[in-house]
Amino acid sequence: MVAAEDRESISFVVELCGTIRKCQPSEREMDADELARIQSTLSATLADAKNRAATAGTDEEFRKIVKHARVMRKMLEQGIRESSDLITAELDDFCAAADHQIAVLRQLAALPSTRSRPR
């Protein structure tokens, strides 16, 4: 079950993934296309978070992006659990790399807000 504080992020992520359904991920089984959309969106969100940290620092918007990445990772994990026949070595490797990147981004988000200096 998804935590109550993540519901806003889930609605945002569901819209980003191209599905406008407003349902909890646990209420339906994900198919390969939906897993691919979440994977693609998660990849873009991680890149966005890194770019935000480099250009604007670790501000509130950065923290929001990191939270969205964490929620997407939870959704991907749940989809994988529900559809174990869709797991590929590539998806497994992606998940491991995403977990590492999210851990690093969470450490940055825990630091006081910073602003990058103009170059």
Q: What is the pLDDT of residue 27?
A: 54
For residue 46, the one-letter residue type is L
CA distance 81 to 22: 21
CA distance 69 to 43: 9
Q: What are the tokens at 38? A: 């979440």
Q: What is the pLDDT of residue 23?
A: 42
Q: What is the pLDDT of residue 31?
A: 84
pTM, two decimals, is: 0.72
Within a 10 A sphere around the Cβ of 45, how many other Cβ atoms?
Answer: 23
CA distance 96 to 61: 25
CA torsion sign, 36 to 42 to 48 to 54?
A: negative
Q: What is the pLDDT of residue 45?
A: 97
Q: What is the pLDDT of residue 2?
A: 46
* Residue ranges of the chain with per-residue pLDDT less than 50: 1-2, 7, 17-26, 117-119
CA torsion sign, 97 to 100 to 103 to 107?
A: negative
